[in-house]
Structure 1
Amino acid sequence: MSREQLAQFLVNSMDGGIEHVAAPIRYRLGIVLVTLTMVMLPIVYLAFVALVAYGVYYHMIHHAGMLSVARGRAAILVLLAYLSPLIVGAILVLFMFKPILARPARIGRTRSLTRDGEPVLFSFIDALCDKIGAPRPQRIDVNCDANASASFRRGYLSMLTGNDLVLTIGMPLVAGMTMSELAGVMAHEFGHFSQGVGMRMSYMIRSISHWFTRVVYERDAWDEWLAGSTNDLDIRVAWVLILAQGGVFLTRRLLWILMMTGHIVSGFLLRQMEFDADRYEIRFAGSDAFESTSRRLREIGLAYQASQSDLRRFYQEGKLGDNLPKLIESRLEELTPEIRAKVREMGDESRTGWFDTHPADVERIASARREQAAGIFHVRRPASELFSNYESLCKNVTWDFFREYFGDRLKPADLHSVDGLLAQRKAEREERKTMDCYFQGAVSFWRPIRLPTGYLEPPREPQSTLKQLKTWRERVSQAGEAYRKQLAELEQADDDMVQAMCAVAVYRSHMPIRNLQFTIAAESIDEAKRIGRESQRRQAKAKENLQTHEDLAGRRMHAALQLALVPAVAQRLDQSPALVADVQQLLPLCQHLGTQMETIAEIRNHRSVLETLCSFLDRFGNDQTLVSEVLCESKNVARKMTQLHQSCSLLDYPFEHSTQGIKISSYLATYVPAPNEVGAVLDVSDEMIEKFAVLAMRISGRLAAIGEQVERALGWAPLPVWEDKPTVSSD
């Protein structure tokens, strides 16, 4: 089918018209009342600013006479009494006036489509708008959001001058939807603009609400200057700024109250407008299609989040995927029936809150069912067929997505084929599944694989090694359940010990401990220390019990890898020279990383303490005892990070990386921050722990996959698939 034929087919597939959604008079009156209320909120704020400014002016003019009353040393106090309200008031007025002029954050690049470039899409949208009685968009944009929206092209100017609309389509929706599903989403968006005056009032309501939200939560250089000056200056001078800081806090509270008032007032009306827009979608695509589309949107949102995890994982090796919608599509295809059922359950259990601008899915679906609409468009072809340049558009919006984050640092060479990255991810997953099967789930990131040696040579007596391998393999299979039980006990002891460490640090800092979510009952510092000592004893016992099985598993793996060097076995292996090269490179690294497990665990433990202490800094940032404890823990984390970093400084990173010849130390972290850079210590240590885990699991997974391949070559079937929840996540 040609593009012209497809365009005509889609237009002809819109069978009949849809009934216009009428708005009752009480709904229209509600729009007017809510709009007036929302407009009054900024006026209330402006009136308060004017009142404070007048108070400063009044004090400056009418209280100047106090300066001529006092003499001698008292004159200094009088001068301070006169100047302090002026300084505090001036700062307060400036900080209150600043939000009025505050501009929104810069929007990234706008990528617009042309009618000549995408004739099928434009023809389809024109027909859709005509069917539902909505104005046609003047411009169609695409981006990398998992969403679609229709808005006024030039803001308030377009709102006042006519139907000057822009439709924005998120390419992840296109990747994951059929034509009827995407058409339904667009019918919903255009349904808003069929509401005429209601949409314009809604635009004002949303704009005011978003303005309040932004100015309440955004911070800028002014806020940093005030906070920094308060901490740096002598208290004899800083007290004036402390008063100003308190005044700014109170004005932000006022803004917050106005913001929440606006949310409550506008919430009901905006939710009703969503119901009305839903009816356009329902009558266009059908009640059943609306329900399936609602669930599909949730699935796409979940896939989008998972793709962000993939991007972070790829970026650990200096790579960025060149097609984010395709990555999201692959994640959608991987959703299991169990996950889809869970997504559906989450939607069914959702409830509408007071401040929600959109009704809960369960309410919207119930409304769709009451409509019992058959719909007029039911084409199930992939939505991507609407686009003549789908693949290039996906890559272009992906570039825009990364460019907005990285800025000019982003270069075309930084983007790699997402097909290759997906193949790499699939291979890693298979190796991790193999590892769980190989070790029968008895494997943990926090425990080493105890190899007898990190070096490999052919066995002197292959038959003896073969016999030992068979014995060790059977014992690993038999001991798996006992190991998993001991591993669970070790993990619980670890958790209790870390919580005890955090509790001791909090008590030592004299901070309130009651609001922390601890599972241990540490009512005092002595009790916390006792729990810590008891947890360490439990750890030691569990580790002792685990070591026997870990030695057994390590000997089994080493024996299998040794046999890979025996010619009679090697000739049965696929890509035998490459496998041997992998083993020779990875085995020493596996052993070395195993020796660093205690170090990475200490980084984790001290980082948890540091993170707990830092949670108090917003409220008690000037408490010197707290600050000292924070710096002490930051020093502990930085010291252990340095130790790990140095231990890996001569080791080559074993997998493909965008930086040729990179060392494992540089892969883990480009640098170790100074202890006084507390925020950087938290961020870099978190990154180091994650990367260490990924690297250790990749190496172990690859070696386990080779070990299993050797056992297959010997004629042994893999051990039964372990059905319980694996210790190592597949992601």
Structure 2
Amino acid sequence: MTIEMACPHCQNVLKFRDELAGRKGKCPKCTGVIEVPQVAAAAPAAAVPASKPAPKPATAKPAGPATSATKPAAAKPAAAANPTAAPVRPAHPVRPPQAKPLTAAPSAASPAARGPIAFDAPDSPFILEPAAATTAPQPQVAPSPAVGPTVAGVSVASTAFSPTNAPTRSPQVGAAAPLMGESLRQQVMGGFLGPIQPVPVSFSYRLGIILSAMVMLLMPIVYFSMIGVVALAMWWHLTNNMGILGASRGRGGVFLFIIYLMPVVVGAALIFFMIKPLFSRSSGRNVIRSLSPQSDPLLFEFVHRVCAIVGAPAPRRIDVDCDINASAGFRNGIFSLMGSDLVLTIGLPLAGGLSLEQFAGVLAHEFGHFAQGTGMRITYITRSINHWFLFVVYQRDRWDDMLVDASQSYDIRISWVFYLARFVIWIVRMVLLVLMKIGHAATGYMLQQMEYDADRYEARVGGSHTFEATSRQIQVLGLAHRGAQADLEFFFKEGRLADNLPRLILANVRQLPAEALEFINDNIKNGKTELFDTHPCDRDRITSAWQEQAPGVYRGSLPASVLFTDYDTLARIVTWDYYFDIFGDKLKREQLHPVEQMVERSDREMAVSKSLDHFYLDAFSPLRPLLLPAYTITPTTDGDGTKRQLIQARNEQMSACLTYRQALKHFKTIDKNLVEAARAMVIYQASAVPDPQQFEHYFNSSREAYEFQYRQQQELVTCCGLMQRFETAIGWRVYSALVLLANTKVQARIEGAAEKFQQLSKLLPVVTVFAARHQAVLDVRNSLSQINTFMGHYEANQQNGAFFSKANELLSALSLKLITLADLLDKVDYPFDHAEGKISLRKFLLPENPDPQNVGQTADCADKLLDNLISVYVRCVGRLCVGALEVEKALGLEPLVSPPVEKEK
């Protein structure tokens, strides 16, 4: 039923749904305030059946400063004139109303008020105000902090939802009961407010489809025509040039026979290398984890509702994985093109990191691709053809290696045929590369228009403001994913893996520093869409979404993870699938540990890292060893004297800080220059010429590199002299604090001091060996750098005997230095907890010696040993600094304040 009335100000005829009776708003024509008349009470409203959810009223706004319901609508943004400007949004955007996260079960005694719905678009029908009539009881809600700090005045999350504090489906001790069952379904599905206006197909999208279809039709024709021309040329040669075979006898006949066979060999090789991708199989995922309507009914209902709103077919299957992504595609590839056989793949970290409102928009985007069926099918075909050409042009496999080996192994009187075949194949691949670039340019335009089209669906379902917040949040999750991968690498070194990767990613969201969010903001602001990009940059997409001025038709601030019946169990399952794809049968269940323990470890390491920087006054470098006055701690009875010694060391460190920072910066530059000069010298010693692209400083001769190295070494001596005062003070400060920690009077002021002293004492052997063998560590690093330089010059020196002789000499030197350094660490215990129990530092850093004749294996082992050794050393120094800071706090010493650090661009 609708209510019809005329605006009392401009007489514009308006129609409203009957549930808007009694509410106030604005006329879209004159913006005058109007009130929707009440419906005549001729017949009482029917009671809502108990088996169905009650109609959901307008969602309430979060608690905070009240906003006027008659605020003028924002002006529609104009297109960006400056290509580097930030995304264009309305001058005064009005945030759509949102429901707050639920923390308690519904209470009939405390109904929630209906808050105003503030539409952003200037052409909104009106802005509704709360009705005077009593509304149906709604669950009480409470706000929770947004995800991370705000960026450019816009919260990273569009709703008040933090993934790290997201409510789970299982009860927690001391926590409010989470929504479950029918109450959860009502909360989730009640967020849908109505349909959206259909998204028309733009002229640019239609033009892109036509252009792409024409180019993609031409590319396969050219490709297979080339194969046909080569085959016909081979047949013509075999049938018309047989006279070559009888033109001469003896050695000349053998040569003519090779000439006769040469086009056949070259042509056959060319055809084979063009069609061999047909027989190549993509590795793909080993495990596909699919859900069913019986296992996750709420998810399927939610997805089907979004599909109905968008006007797209519902997926036949829903898969889940560990990606920061959601995608919809044809379930059986080309065999599903003619029907509506779709599969939706959802990345669980994405669902855990987005609100329902954001997630609904993402789903609308994916299904928006399928709302325009013809365009999506053409897109699938064009993507397949592009991938095919990419495969043909760039794929190298064992067949390519065999052809290279054949051209280099045989006598030149025979191998020239293989060289010719390689040359012809290279020419054809270059021709196909040009075709591929043309195809990418044509399809890139269409794919960009397709993304804009899908973005309109997302904006109309979730809202323009939510679209921008989602774009930022996905980038936040991307950075958190990288942090989680770093955590996994750290855990794996100690024989552990987190059992829940999605939760680990969400835990990394709260660890992101403000600089990371600034990076995301700058990345969006300075984004630029290039010719061959398949997706427009976020800046252009956000601008396009704001031009929709869409308020959205879904409201929901709960995390999207509530759609899954048991999110955490499912997350652990897909985490196992992810690890199994990497490790295969080597993966063991005992390697997986609760993610909560892993996050706790990561948090401790982060706290230690911050304490390390604080203790060093933001001037720590792993290139410099910690030099203690002594490496064994002897308790002293002269506590006052040691305290004075500690205070003096603090004063010395503070006084020398600025000088040290400048000297350390110069030291790093000198160190890099010395490594580069040594790299250039060994290349010249191998009778080769350094590649200018691999050097910041180019040296025209070995002598020039040697003289540069000599000057840098002189500067190094001066620089180290400037750093000595600060480093000496650091050593005495740590040593004095450890001596005081062994004192019984100081221990009385620190909880668990005796145990802490024992733990810190276990770290000293690592610090000792690193300081004693610091030059050996640098020697391994320098040799590794030289080996890597040789590997970068391999292609240009394949016929240079002196080059390979020098390379073997450097490889032998690196192998000897590596094993010698590792053997020195065999008597030092690994100082931290390991899954295997007590192990030596050598076993942790280098479990097995590399093959001294295998350059790749040796270089990889050296790289891992250096990385792990420095990591262990930094962790040890960090913990010593934490202990020293605790002692200073117990003595009542104020923390040292680091002088401001000049930020480097």
**Which interval holds the TM-score relative to the shorter structure?**
over 0.9
Q: In structure 2, which of residues 407, 412, 434 is the aligned counterpart of residue 230 of structure 1?
A: 407
| 1:84 alignment partner in structure 2 | 262
Please say if 1:299 is aligned against 2:455: no
Report Cα offsets for 1:155-192 as digits up to 9, x if no partner.
111112x1011110011111211111111111000000
| 1:482 alignment partner in structure 2 | 659
Secondary structure of 1:151's match? strand
CA distance in 1, matches of 2:193, 2:340: 26
| 1:271 alignment partner in structure 2 | 448
Q: Which runs of 5+ in 1 are unaligned?
A: none
Contact kept? 2:787, 2:811, Cα under 8 Å: yes
AA matched with 1:621: Q
Contact kept? 2:208, 2:449, Cα under 8 Å: no
Q: In structure 2, which of residues 583, 596, 600 is the aligned counterpart of residue 419 of structure 1?
A: 596
Q: In structure 2, which of residues 706, 731, 738 is the aligned counterpart of residue 529 of structure 1?
A: 706
CA distance in 2, matches of 1:406, 1:397: 14
Please say if 1:252 is aligned against 2:429: yes
Please say if 1:132 is aligned against 2:287: no
Tell me by how many angstroms 1:408 deviates.
Answer: 1.2
CA distance in 1, matches of 2:582, 2:798: 31
Structure of higher CA gyration radius:
2
CA distance in 1, matches of 2:463, 2:204: 27
Aligned residues: 726
Task: Report 1:193-592 matches (<5 A).
Answer: 193-459=370-636, 461-509=638-686, 511=688, 513=690, 515-516=692-693, 518-520=695-697, 522-592=699-769
Contact kept? 1:21, 1:280, Cα under 8 Å: yes
Tell me by how many angstroms 1:631 deviates.
Answer: 3.0
Contact kept? 2:631, 2:768, Cα under 8 Å: yes
| 1:684 alignment partner in structure 2 | 861
Contact kept? 1:437, 1:722, Cα under 8 Å: no
Q: In structure 2, which of residues 198, 206, 212 is the aligned counterpart of residue 20 of structure 1?
A: 198
AA matched with 2:193: D
Secondary structure of 1:549's match? helix
Tell me by how many angstroms 1:14 deviates.
Answer: 1.2
CA distance in 1, matches of 2:202, 2:513: 44
Q: Cα distance 1:268–1:291, how it changes in 2: closer, same or farther (>3 A)?
A: same
| 2:349 alignment partner in structure 1 | 172
CA distance in 1, matches of 2:888, 2:411: 73
Please say if 1:45 is aligned against 2:217: no
Q: Which runs of 5+ in 2 are unaligned?
A: 1-178
Report Cα offsets for 1:257-289 as digits up to 9, x if no partner.
222121011111111111111111111111111
Q: In structure 1, which of residues 698, 702, 705 is the aligned counterpart of residue 882 of structure 2?
A: 705
CA distance in 1, matches of 2:214, 2:364: 29
Contact kept? 1:120, 1:387, Cα under 8 Å: yes
Q: Cα distance 1:236–1:577, how it changes in 2: closer, same or farther (>3 A)?
A: farther
Q: In structure 1, which of residues 7, 13, 18 is the aligned counterpart of residue 185 of structure 2?
A: 7
Q: Cα distance 1:714–1:136, how it changes in 2: closer, same or farther (>3 A)?
A: same
Q: In structure 2, which of residues 242, 247, 251 is the aligned counterpart of residue 73 of structure 1?
A: 251
Contact kept? 1:438, 1:708, Cα under 8 Å: yes
AA matched with 1:18: I
Tell me by how many angstroms 1:133 deviates.
Answer: 0.8
Tell me by how many angstroms 1:234 deviates.
Answer: 4.3
CA distance in 2, matches of 1:526, 1:508: 11
Contact kept? 1:188, 1:277, Cα under 8 Å: yes
Tell me by how many angstroms 1:499 deviates.
Answer: 1.6
Secondary structure of 1:166's match? strand
AA matched with 1:78: L
Tell me by how many angstroms 1:26 deviates.
Answer: 6.7
Secondary structure of 1:115's match? coil
CA distance in 2, matches of 1:208, 1:525: 50
Q: In structure 1, which of residues 147, 150, 156 is the aligned counterpart of residue 325 of structure 2?
A: 147
Secondary structure of 2:319's match? strand
Contact kept? 1:441, 1:480, Cα under 8 Å: no
Secondary structure of 1:149's match? strand
CA distance in 2, matches of 1:466, 1:697: 26
CA distance in 2, matches of 1:530, 1:30: 60
Secondary structure of 1:717's match? coil
Contact kept? 2:499, 2:576, Cα under 8 Å: yes
Contact kept? 2:326, 2:344, Cα under 8 Å: yes
CA distance in 2, matches of 1:697, 1:549: 18
AA matched with 1:80: I
| 1:615 alignment partner in structure 2 | 792
Contact kept? 2:659, 2:722, Cα under 8 Å: no
Report Cα offsets for 1:644-697 as digits up to 9, x if no partner.
111112221111122223221121122343343222233222222211111010
Identify the range of structure 1 (545-554 vs 118-127) with the bigger mean alpha-carbon deviation.
545-554
Tell me by how many angstroms 1:141 deviates.
Answer: 0.5
CA distance in 1, matches of 2:878, 2:902: 17
Q: Which has the higher contact order (CA 8 A, sep 6+)?
A: 1
Contact kept? 1:673, 1:680, Cα under 8 Å: yes
Please say if 1:182 is aligned against 2:359: yes
Secondary structure of 1:142's match? strand
Contact kept? 2:208, 2:442, Cα under 8 Å: no
Q: In structure 1, which of residues 108, 118, 121 is the aligned counterpart of residue 299 of structure 2?
A: 121
Contact kept? 2:464, 2:551, Cα under 8 Å: yes
Tell me by how many angstroms 1:508 deviates.
Answer: 3.9
Contact kept? 1:18, 1:284, Cα under 8 Å: yes
Identify the range of structure 1 (7-16 vs 260-269) with the bigger mean alpha-carbon deviation.
7-16
CA distance in 1, matches of 2:739, 2:216: 75
CA distance in 1, matches of 2:605, 2:412: 58
Contact kept? 1:674, 1:681, Cα under 8 Å: yes
Q: In structure 1, which of residues 163, 171, 183 is the aligned counterpart of residue 340 of structure 2?
A: 163
AA matched with 1:216: V
Tell me by how many angstroms 1:513 deviates.
Answer: 4.1
Identify the range of structure 1 (222-231 vs 648-657) with the bigger mean alpha-carbon deviation.
222-231
Tell me by how many angstroms 1:523 deviates.
Answer: 3.5
CA distance in 2, matches of 1:277, 1:648: 58
Report Cα offsets for 1:55-77 as digits up to 9, x if no partner.
23332333232222212221222
CA distance in 1, matches of 2:535, 2:193: 30
| 1:717 alignment partner in structure 2 | 894
Secondary structure of 1:295's match? helix
Contact kept? 1:453, 1:591, Cα under 8 Å: no
Contact kept? 1:102, 1:215, Cα under 8 Å: no
State the Cα RMSD in Å: 2.1
CA distance in 1, matches of 2:584, 2:286: 10
| 1:59 alignment partner in structure 2 | 237
| 1:634 alignment partner in structure 2 | 811
Identify the range of structure 1 (438-447 vs 625-634) with the bigger mean alpha-carbon deviation.
625-634
Tell me by how many angstroms 1:236 deviates.
Answer: 4.3
AA matched with 1:649: D
Secondary structure of 1:516's match? helix
CA distance in 1, matches of 2:611, 2:465: 41
